[in-house]
Amino acid sequence: MTATYHLVTSSNVIAVNYDPDWAMKASVMPLIEDIGHARESLSAGKWAFYDDIRNWPIKSPAQIDACTQATHAMIDSGLTHCVVCGKDIGVSHWVMEKIFAEKVKLAFFTSPEECLGWLKSNGFNTQLN
């Protein structure tokens, strides 16, 4: 079985989750490209990214570099908030803070319900398709 991810959107949120067989060796480039295409379909203005990393808790150094570069483009296109769903997210928390620096408001939760609640409380549309 090929490791896959699933990307859904609302008018101002892009959300991604990963299948249980997602591997550290999986290329992040198709994901980054799909996020870029999804951004084009969002409303103009600020938007949020919801990253459900429960099946992908630690990224390799190459993945971190690619994600960091992609994040700069995301910020330039209006990304203002990022919420991360995961368990044991200590290392991931540190990595995400390094990737997003101080330019994006970050939140970390252990359940999708908490993540969606945080997005909604910050004015984002949580009706994901």
**pLDDT one-digit tens code per residue, 25-56:** 567 788 889 999 999 999 888 999 999 988 87
Domain count, the chain: 1
The pLDDT tens digits of the residues spanning 81-117 come to 999 998 866 666 777 777 776 789 999 999 999 999 9
Residue 106's domain comprises: 5-121
Please say whether the beta carbons of 81 and 122 come within 8 A. Answer: yes
The pLDDT tens digits of the residues spanning 50-81 come to 999 888 756 778 877 888 888 888 999 999 99
Task: For residue 94, tell me if it sits in a domain.
Answer: yes
pLDDT at 24 exceeding the cut of 70: no
112: its two tokens: 């999708």
Task: For residue 126, tell me if it sits in a domain.
Answer: no
Task: For residue 24, tell me if it sits in a domain.
Answer: yes
How far is residue 71's CA from residue 88's CA, in Å, rounded to a whole number? 23
44: its two tokens: 């103009």
pLDDT at 128 exceeding the cut of 90: yes
Q: How does residue 127 score in pLDDT terms, banded at 50, 70 and 90?
A: very high
